[in-house]
Every structure is written in C-alpha cells, then in structure tokens.
Structure 1
Amino acid sequence: MFADRVVCVVRAPRLPDAQALCHALADGGIRTVELTFTTPDVLRHLRSAADAVAPDVVLGVGTVVSADEARAALDAGARFLVTPGLRPEVAAVATAAGVPVLIGALTPTEVLQAHEAGASAVKVFPASVMGPAYLGALHGPYPHVRLVPSGGVSAENARDYLDHGAAAVTAGTGVVPPATVAAGDWAEITRRAREFVAGW
C-alpha cells in the first residue's frame, strides 16, 4: 500500500459512487484510498466498491476507533485500517487478520506505543502542527518506524515530508474536497490527484 507513497483520505457528507471515486483517483495516480467512518453508510460504500476496484486500488477504512468497527470494516472488504489515535484493540483485530493498520500518534511516546501495538505504519496527526522537519526528528530514535504524515499535507509540501523520511503522505481535502465528492465531479478529482503527485 506504500508503492505510490500516498494515501487519499475521503471525508464527505455524501458519496454518490465509491467505485467511480476510486477510479478517478487511480486515473490521477493515487491508488490507495481510505474511506472513513465519518462518511454516512461507509460500510455500504465499501462493500459496493472493494471487489470492483481491486487490484487497481487498495481500499481501506479510517477513523476506526473500536474492535467492532474494525471487524465490520474487514467483513465489508477493507484491505487496511486507520485509527485517529492509539487504539490497541483495533490493532489487535487487524494483526489477527493479517491486515495492515496505521495507528494515529503525535508525540514520541505515542509513536513508540503505536509501533509496539503492531502498527504497520504510524499516522503522524496533525502533521501540520509540527511540520516536515518533525518527521526527521522522530526518525532519530525510531529509524525503522514507518511514518505517514496526515493533516495539512498538500501538493506544495508533500515532497518536503517525503524528503524528511515519510514512508508515504496523506492527501485529503486538497484532492477530494467534500463538495466535489458529493457532486460526483470525478474529472476534477482526477485533475487534483494528478497535481498532487506531479512533483514526485
């Protein structure tokens, strides 16, 4: 899931066609997509798209905060899970199923706890508060921990995060604005995805 070095997280009040969204992102060069539990009926969307977009798109679910949500997401076809903070119970479900999990953390202590809980990578959130150099600092004591900055990553600064050691970066509303997703403007989303990855 780190091949393209970008994960696109989708938060929208309405998702008219999850398959079309995934294909629009893939056409723009982003092939790892994270739907979230903040989107209404996310599991229905996941079920409708998971098989149809594979293997071109790796589709997962984020904002997972409980073991029950983790199991439900996996049953619906999620190929990876993402938590907003330290959720060892989610990590346990993912690890038992052999599915990658990105655990949210910010401080050095939280990063270590996330790693020890079994995180495939640690989602550094909110990355914009600390900036790209913070990732380089974290790699001092944790050189082997994969770090994925999330929150405030843009086409303008993504390269800087990668240069400071990010395993991947998270694209958000800059690529998938909620209103654009809700309107089903897939051509615009493809354009934004292409622009996001153009620098690398």
Structure 2
Amino acid sequence: MNPNPVNPTSSVLARLRAVLAASPVIAVVRAPRIPDAVALCAALAEGGINLTEFTYTTPDVTTHLRRAAREGRRVGVGTVLTAEQAEEAIAAGASFLVTPGLRPDVARAAHAARVPVVLGALSPTEVAQAVDLGAAAVKIFPARAFGPGYFKDLRGPYPDVPLVASGGVNAGNAAEFLAQGALAVCAGTDVVAPDVVAAGDWAEITRRAKVFTQACAVGGR
C-alpha cells in the first residue's frame, strides 16, 4: 500500500524551501501562556526572525495562530500528531506544519490542503521515509543528540534534502549547524523562553532574537 497517496506538488515543496533559504531561523514557541501572539511575532520579526512556529503544547494554540495569521505573520504549528490537528491548524491559518517524528496521516492532510509539512526524523532511514512522505524539509530532532557534524554526515547520502536542526540549538552553536549542512535552525528557549513570553516582555524577545540571528550571520548565513 502506498503510504502517501496524495503527493505534494513541486510548488508546495519549493515554497517553504525558498522561505527557509532566505530566512533560516524558526522561532519555536512552547509557552503555557501567550498574552499577545501578534506582538510576539512582531517582536521576533524586529529581531530578524520572520518564521514563528506555535505548538500544540500551548493551550488554545489555534486562537493564537489565527490572530497572528490574520495580521499577515508567517506562522505555522508544531507538535502536530494527528490529521485532525493538521486540519484544525490549517483552517486557523497555518502556512506550514511541523511534526516531532514521522506522521503519515499529518503528511497526507497537509498535502491535501497544499500546505508544506516539515517531518521530524533522526536516523538516515527516517530521513528517507520523511522524503518518501513528501516532506518539504526534514527536521532532525533532537539535533543535540549528535551535534552539527551529524548534518555533514547526512549530506553525503542526502545532498539535496533540506534539513532543519531542532532541539538544543542556541546562539552559541546555530552557526555551526548551518555551516555543516542545515538549511535552517530552530530557536527555542534561547529566544522564546516560556517565562519571558508569558510575561509579555517583547523588548527582551527582540533582544534575544537579534543575538541569535547575528550569531547565524557570523556563521556566513
């Protein structure tokens, strides 16, 4: 049986890949409370991060997503585990979906709606499976498990697969992940610490985003 009966078009794949190539940092927000999703996205953009991934670990995540998407922010949803969540997120305005691991049902729902999906993987076998499922990019998670050098190793058998580093990426190592072959990196608590987000300290979010993006720029991106 074909695990991926709905194949994504090349334009769907290329759309997110082009965005990541131009703006290689995704802010991954895992906070118990987001007082103003629009202000959060604006603070991140001011610091140079134009892609925001809200997650299903945040209560009422689709409300935040809908508000940010209405204001024209480029936002997606992560920790998507089911087709139902995928459809709900897409209806709320998600421009991309992210999974922590291989989720064929999520991939099918994304492809049916012509929304790019980033599938999580770790081993070379899982990377191949993510590609077969039509991933626009493959998120290597947790990236800290093997470090930046692992991306160089994966580039050998998979030179054309867009890889995203997630989990344990910070301002001190982000540039190395990019230099070793990651197309993009995920900025988590190093930029969007839950307590800072919950407090609505947008100036601090902008400051942290600038530090992170400047560190990436020093690495040649």
TM-score, normalised to structure 1, is: 0.97
Is 1:98–2:117 an aligned residue pair? no
Partners of 2:65 and 2:195 in 1: how far apart? 20
Residue identity opposite 2:127 in structure 1? V
Partners of 1:48 and 1:143 in 2: how far apart? 38
Partner of 1:28: 47
Residue identity opposite 1:117 in structure 2? L
Q: For 1:83, which of 88, 93, 99 is the aligned residue?
A: 99
Partners of 2:67 and 2:47 in 1: how far apart? 21
Where do 5+ consecutive residues of structure 1 fail to align?
none
Q: For 2:89, which of 73, 91, 96 is the aligned residue?
A: 73
Alignment partner of 2:75: what SS?
strand
Deviation string 1:35-92 (CA, Å, 9 cap, x unpaired) is: 000000001111122121x1xx310000000000000000000000000100011111
Residue identity opposite 2:180 in structure 1? H
Partner of 1:113: 129
Residue identity opposite 1:107 in structure 2? S
Partners of 1:69 and 1:95 in 2: how far apart? 14
Cα displacement (A) at 1:93: 1.1
Partner of 2:66: 47
Partner of 1:129: 145
TM-score, normalised to structure 2, is: 0.88
Cα displacement (A) at 1:191: 0.2
Alignment partner of 2:125: what SS?
helix
Alignment partner of 1:198: what SS?
helix
- Number of equivalent positions: 197
Cα displacement (A) at 1:95: 1.3
Partner of 1:180: 196
Partners of 2:131 and 2:99 in 1: how far apart? 13
Alignment partner of 1:34: what SS?
strand
Partners of 1:44 and 1:97 in 2: how far apart? 20
Partner of 1:14: 33
Cα displacement (A) at 1:114: 0.6
Cα displacement (A) at 1:167: 0.7
Partners of 2:142 and 2:67 in 1: how far apart? 30
Partners of 1:130 and 1:95 in 2: how far apart? 30
Question: What RMSD over aligned residues (CA atoms) do the two structures have, in Å?
Answer: 0.7
Cα displacement (A) at 1:94: 1.0
Residue identity opposite 2:49 in structure 1? I
Cα displacement (A) at 1:187: 0.2
Partners of 2:76 and 2:93 in 1: how far apart? 8
Residue identity opposite 2:43 in structure 1? A
Residue identity opposite 1:6 in structure 2? V
Cα displacement (A) at 1:4: 1.1
Where do 5+ consecutive residues of structure 2 fail to align?
1-18
Cα displacement (A) at 1:7: 0.6
